[in-house]
Amino acid sequence: MDSRSLGARLRAARKARGWTQEQLAYRADTSQAVIQKIENGKSLRPRKIDVIARVLDVDPAWLMFGGQRAGSLEDEARELALAWQKLPEDQRLLFRREILKAANGASQPSAH
């Protein structure tokens, strides 16, 4: 995720969830205008940052100041996890089997 500014980090975290500014505002019990101001760099010390971070499931310190996010998934893994949640259960089972099969096959030496 982009760590250049609070606004960029917020926007990246929001978009990683697939949410609009309005959807995030609703979940954080604030207004879309507040989210927009933060993302546009017009609010550098927002009062609701802890609530916004909790809703986005990110560390408030990371959201405010950037740096490494301890214990976070790589962006690609997070993207896949979010997509995974959208799949019906039968497709999850099928993909899970194939992924584990491919991962286990990749770690075993060739029989040649």
Q: What structural domains does the chain harbor?
A: 6-65 (1.10.260.40), 75-107 (no CATH)
Round to whole Å and give the CA distance between 55 and 10.
Answer: 11
Helix 49-56 to helix 6-16 angle (10° resolution) is 30
Round to whole Å and give the CA distance between 48 and 81.
Answer: 27
pTM over the 0.85 mark: no
pLDDT in tens, the chain (112 residues): 445 889 999 999 999 999 999 999 999 999 999 999 999 989 877 888 899 999 999 988 888 888 755 445 566 666 777 777 788 888 888 988 888 888 887 655 555 5
